[in-house]
Structures are given as C-alpha cells and as structure tokens.
Amino acid sequence: MIKKGLILLILVGFVTIISSLLINFKGNEELNPLARHYAEHGAAEVGAANLVTAVVVTYRGFDTLGEVTILFLAAAIVGFFLKVNNRDNEREASLRKTSEILITASTLLVPTIFMLGVYIFMNGHLTPGGGFQGGAVIATGMVLMIMAKPNVKFNHKLLAFLESVSGVGFVIIGVLGVLLAAGFLDNRILPLGNFGTLISAGAIPIIYVLIGLKVGSELTNILDSLKETQNEK
Amino acid sequence: MSIVLAIFLGLVILVLAVVAVHHKNLKVAIIATGVVGLFASVLFLLLAAPDVAMTEASIGSGLSTIIFFYVLNKIRQSND
C-alpha cells in the first residue's frame, strides 16, 4: 500500500514538472542562428543538395566518427562474447526446411536489396539516406539471405578487411582535411563540383561509401555471430 | 488528412507497445516491437524526416526483430 502510494506520488511529481514545461512551450517561429547559417550557407559551403548530409558528414562530422566507433565497439563486443567453439563449427544446424517460395524469391530480391543499399549510400549527398541507412539496408539483405539459406557461410576475412579499410580510410580523409582544407573532416579537399550532380560535394560521396561499407560489414558480422551461436549446443 | 493519419499511427504505436510489454507469448511481443518500428518509420516520413525513417525501417523493424528472435531461440535452447 505504501509502495503504491509512493509510486503515485512520484508520478504526480513527474506530471507537475513536465506539465509546467509543456504549458510554457512555444514553437520557434524562425530558425535559431546556427540552423539559419546551415540553411542559408550550407549549399554554398558544402555543395551537398541534401542538407541533412551536409550537417551529418561535414559540420558535425566528428560526431559521425564517434557513432561509427560506437558501432564498431558494439560489433567487436558481440563478436568477443559470442565466440563459437571450433569443434561445433562442423555441425550443421538441423533446421526446418526453408520454403521454396522464400528460396526462389531471395535469389531475385537479395541482389536488388544490395543494389538499393549501394544506391542509398552513393546518393547520400543528393537524396535522403546515407552511409548508415545504406549499410543497414545491405544488412537486411543479408538477413533475407540467411533466412533463405540458413547454412550459408560468410567470408570473415573479407568482412574484417572491408571494415578495417573503410574505418581507416574515413580517418585518413579526416586528417587530409586538416592538411589540405580548413579542418578535420572538411570536405573541400576535393573540388565541390556542380551542385546536385553525382560527383559533387567534395569528399562527402567517398566518406559515405566508406561509412556504408563499414556499417554493412559490421552489422553482417553481428548477424553472423548470432547465427553461429544457434548451432552450438 | 496527414495529421489524422499521424494521430492514428501514434495510437496504433501506443497499443502495440503495450502489447509488446504485456503479452504472455514472447514471439508475439517481438513481432509487436517490430511493427512499432515499422509504423514509427511511416510516422517519421509524415513528419518530413525521410533520413530517420529509412534508419528506423531497416534497423528498428528489420534487424532488431531478427536479433531478438535469435536471442529468444538461444535462451530457449539453454533452458531445455
């Protein structure tokens, strides 16, 4: 009884605190100075048609590097804790037979999904989407592949190679920005090009291709580690 | 029109979230979580955030659902 009373008291306290915030809330009629700078000068300074990408990759590029690092750590920790015993590797999982429809559909759909993912991260500076989204789409294609063929084996060396090369490449481009342009991860190390074309916005397409490959291979690695633990007894 | 759709989607998300927390069958709960992600991505699209909608659709409703199922299967195996 006392416990329930305390919970009620805490809830009422929350309501009073939050309701005072809610009553005094007024939506911004105009952009704040920082947002106005991005909106007015973003296209000229960065050259990316998708302003979200301009903010994510260039103005706030350091945060993106942090996010990529967090994802890398998560993938590394999953791989570390889900280490599979080697002797169990030989045993094939005795799963229910996959349906014929799924197998047939996956042969058509998996390459299409991969192509969509590559499209999303290559056009990250023009259309909505980018490295993270493209990489995640590629990983969902991998999910479909695993569901259709549960005993498929991935080439771990290739995945690890892709992941390391793209991570190191991202940092190298960032450092090149310090040496050749205004600062870390500045995209003007390459010419900005024509606004709105595929090869424009300086280093943003390269950075997004690297992020897309990195995210895709990391998420695939996580999925594969989880898949392999299913066989172990 | 789109505001009505947005409110409807928000209500559906709330109902499915309650289902995900309280349902006895864990499979149903996981599916409900995935559908919450799917509807949330449509909601983000209506609120003019296509970048976030893409991430939510692929990670929230695709990858996290399958990861939950792997973990559920694993927990069942070790409980047997």
**Of A93 and B74, more confident:** B74
Q: Please answer whether residues B20 and B53 qualify as being in contact, where contact means their C-beta atoms are separated by less than 8 angstroms.
A: no
* C-alpha distances in Å from residue A19, one per residue of A13, A29, A159: 10, 22, 50
* C-alpha distances in Å from residue A74, one per residue of A13, A71, A80, B19, B52: 36, 5, 10, 29, 21
Closest Cα in chain B to A52: B51
Range with lowest mean pLDDT among A92-101, A108-117, A159-168, B57-66: A92-101
**Of A43 and B72, more confident:** B72
pLDDT at A10 over 90: yes
* C-alpha distances in Å from residue B50, one per residue of A129, A149, B47, B54: 7, 32, 8, 6
A129 to B70: CB separation less than 8 angstroms, yes or no: no
Residue in this structure with the two tokens 């969509």, named with its chain if needed:
A116
Write down the ipTM of this complex: 0.82
Summarised one tens digit per residue, pLDDT across range A194-211 is: 777 777 777 888 888 888
Residue B6 sits in which domain range?
2-79
Summarised one tens digit per residue, pLDDT across range A103-124 is: 898 889 999 999 998 998 888 8
Arithmetic mean of pLDDT over chain A? 82
Closest Cα in chain A to B78: A233
Measure CB to CB from residue A139 to each of B51, B63, B77 and give the nearest one: B63
**Of A39 and B11, more confident:** B11
Chain B CB contacts of A140 below 8 Å:
58, 62-63
Distance from CA of B55 to the nearest CA of A (A): 5
Query: Given pLDDT bands bounded at 50, 70 and 90, which one contains residue A15?
Result: very high
Summarised one tens digit per residue, pLDDT across range A167-203 is: 888 888 888 877 877 777 777 777 777 777 777 777 8
Chain A CB contacts of B41 below 8 Å:
none
Chain A CB contacts of B71 below 8 Å:
226
pLDDT at A215 over 60: yes
Range with lowest mean pLDDT among A53-57, B9-13, B66-70: A53-57
| CA separation for the pair A122, A132 (Å, rounded) | 11
Query: Given pLDDT bands bounded at 50, 70 and 90, which one contains residue A85?
Result: low
A143 to B66: CB separation less than 8 angstroms, yes or no: yes
Distance from CA of A66 to the nearest CA of B (A): 17
**Of A79 and B29, more confident:** B29
Query: Given pLDDT bands bounded at 50, 70 and 90, which one contains residue A95?
Result: low
Nearest to A72 by CA among A207, A183, A170: A170
What's the total number of domains in chain B?
1
* pLDDT for position A115: 92
* pLDDT for position A171: 86
- The Cα diameter of chain B in Å comes to 51
Chain A CB contacts of B70 below 8 Å:
226-227, 229-230
* pLDDT for position A190: 74
